Amino acid sequence: MKKIGFIGLGLMGKPMAKNLFKKGFQLIVYNRTPSKTEDFKKIGVPVASSPEELSKEVDVVITIVTDHEAVREVLMGPNGAFNGARPGTVFIDMSTILPRVSIELSEKAKEKGFHFLDAPVSGSTWAAEQGTLAIMVGGEKKIYEENLEVFKALGEKIIYMGPNGNGSYAKLINNIIGATFAAILGEGICFAEKVGLDVSALIEVLSSGAFKSPLIEFKGPKMMKADYSTQFSLNLMFKDLNYMVETAKEKNFPLFLGALTKEIYQAIKNKVNGDLDYAIIVEFFRSLIQ
Amino acid sequence: MKKIGFIGLGLMGKPMAKNLFKKGFQLIVYNRTPSKTEDFKKIGVPVASSPEELSKEVDVVITIVTDHEAVREVLMGPNGAFNGARPGTVFIDMSTILPRVSIELSEKAKEKGFHFLDAPVSGSTWAAEQGTLAIMVGGEKKIYEENLEVFKALGEKIIYMGPNGNGSYAKLINNIIGATFAAILGEGICFAEKVGLDVSALIEVLSSGAFKSPLIEFKGPKMMKADYSTQFSLNLMFKDLNYMVETAKEKNFPLFLGALTKEIYQAIKNKVNGDLDYAIIVEFFRSLIQ
Q: What is the pLDDT of residue B290?
A: 78
Q: What is the pLDDT of residue B249?
A: 98
Which residue type, as a one-letter code, is found at position A112?
K
pLDDT digits (tens, 9 = 90+) for B116-133: 999 999 998 889 999 999
* A288 vs B: CB within 8 A: yes
Of A156, A162, A264, the CB nearest to B197: A162
Asked if the Cβ–Cβ distance from B204 to A159 is below 8 Å, we say: yes
User: Taking residues A87-98, what's their average pLDDT?
Assistant: 98
The pairing of strands A90-93 and A115-118 is parallel
Residue of chain A whose alpha carbon sits nearest to that of B100: A195
The Cβ of residue B22 has, within 10 Å, a number of other Cβ atoms equal to: 12
Q: Helix, strand or coil for residue A201?
A: helix
The pairing of strands B90-93 and B121-122 is unpaired
pTM: 0.96
Average pLDDT, chain A: 97
Q: Is the pLDDT of residue A266 over 90?
A: yes
Distance CA A46, CA A265 (A): 40
Q: What is the pLDDT of residue B125?
A: 87
Chain B 119-158, residues with CB within 8 Å of chain A CB atoms: 122-124, 134, 136, 156-157
The pairing of strands A60-63 and A3-7 is parallel
Q: Is the pLDDT of residue A51 over 90?
A: yes
Asked if the Cβ–Cβ distance from B205 to A174 is below 8 Å, we say: yes
DSSP at A34: G
Asked if the Cβ–Cβ distance from A253 to B160 is below 8 Å, we say: no
Q: Helix, strand or coil for residue B118?
A: strand
Distance CA A288, CA B21 (A): 49
Q: Helix, strand or coil for residue B122?
A: strand
Q: Which residue among B171, B219, B239, B269 is the active-site one?
A: B171
Q: Which of B180, B176, B131 is nearest to B156 (CA)?
A: B131
Contact A118, A93 (CB under 8 A): yes
Q: Could you tell me the pLDDT band of residue B33, with boundaries at 50, 70 and 90? A: very high
Question: Which residues make Cβ contacts (< 8 Å) with residue B50, sequence separation at least 6?
Answer: B30, B79
Chain A 52-81, residues with CB within 8 Å of chain B CB atoms: none
Q: What is the DSSP secondary-structure string of B231-272?
A: SSBHHHHHHHHHHHHHHHHHTT---SHHHHHHHHHHHHHTTS
Q: CA of A286 to nearest chain B CA: how many angstroms apart? A: 10
Distance CA B208, CA A171 (A): 12
pLDDT digits (tens, 9 = 90+) for B200-221: 999 999 999 899 999 999 999 9
Distance CA A265, CA A269 (A): 6
pLDDT digits (tens, 9 = 90+) for A174-218: 999 999 999 999 999 999 999 999 999 999 999 998 999 999 999
Does the predicted interface ipTM exceed a cut of 0.90? yes
Candidates A256, A260, A266: best to mutate against B (most CBs of B within 10 A) is A256
Distance CA A189, CA A191 (A): 5
Asked if the Cβ–Cβ distance from A161 to B99 is below 8 Å, we say: no
Of B166, B213, B214, the CB nearest to A197: B166
DSSP at A256: S
pLDDT digits (tens, 9 = 90+) for B222-242: 999 999 999 999 999 999 999
The pairing of strands A121-122 and A133-138 is antiparallel
Average pLDDT, chain B: 97
Q: What is the pLDDT of residue A125?
A: 87
Asked if the Cβ–Cβ distance from A206 to B174 is below 8 Å, we say: yes
Using CA atoms, how far residue A155 sits from A8, A164, A266, B156, B217, in Å, is 17, 20, 31, 35, 21
Q: What is the DSSP secondary-structure string of A39-64?
A: HHHHTT--B-SSHHHHHTT-SEEEE-
Candidates A126, A166, A200, A211: best to mutate against B (most CBs of B within 10 A) is A211
Q: Is B249 a catalytic residue?
A: no
Asked if the Cβ–Cβ distance from A201 to B160 is below 8 Å, we say: yes
Distance CA A156, CA B27 (A): 51
Q: Catalogue all structural domains in chain A, each as residue range(s) with its CATH number.
A: 3-162 (3.40.50.720), 169-289 (1.10.1040.10)
The pairing of strands B133-138 and B121-122 is antiparallel
Question: Which residues make Cβ contacts (< 8 Å) with residue B120, sequence separation at least 6?
Answer: B93, B94, B95, B96, B97, B135, B136, B167, B168, B170, B171
Question: Which helix (DSSP H) or strand (DSSP E) does residue B93 occupy?
Answer: strand B90-93
Question: Which helix (DSSP H) or strand (DSSP E) does residue B171 occupy?
Answer: helix B166-195
Contact A5, A40 (CB under 8 A): no
Q: Is the pLDDT of residue A290 over 90?
A: no
Distance CA A1, CA A26 (A): 7
Q: What is the pLDDT of residue B160?
A: 98
Using CA atoms, how far residue A36 sits from A23, A33, A225, B17, in Å, is 21, 6, 32, 63
Q: What is the pLDDT of residue A1?
A: 87
pLDDT digits (tens, 9 = 90+) for B165-175: 999 999 999 99
pLDDT digits (tens, 9 = 90+) for B171-197: 999 999 999 999 999 999 999 999 999
Question: Which helix (DSSP H) or strand (DSSP E) does residue B156 occupy?
Answer: strand B155-162
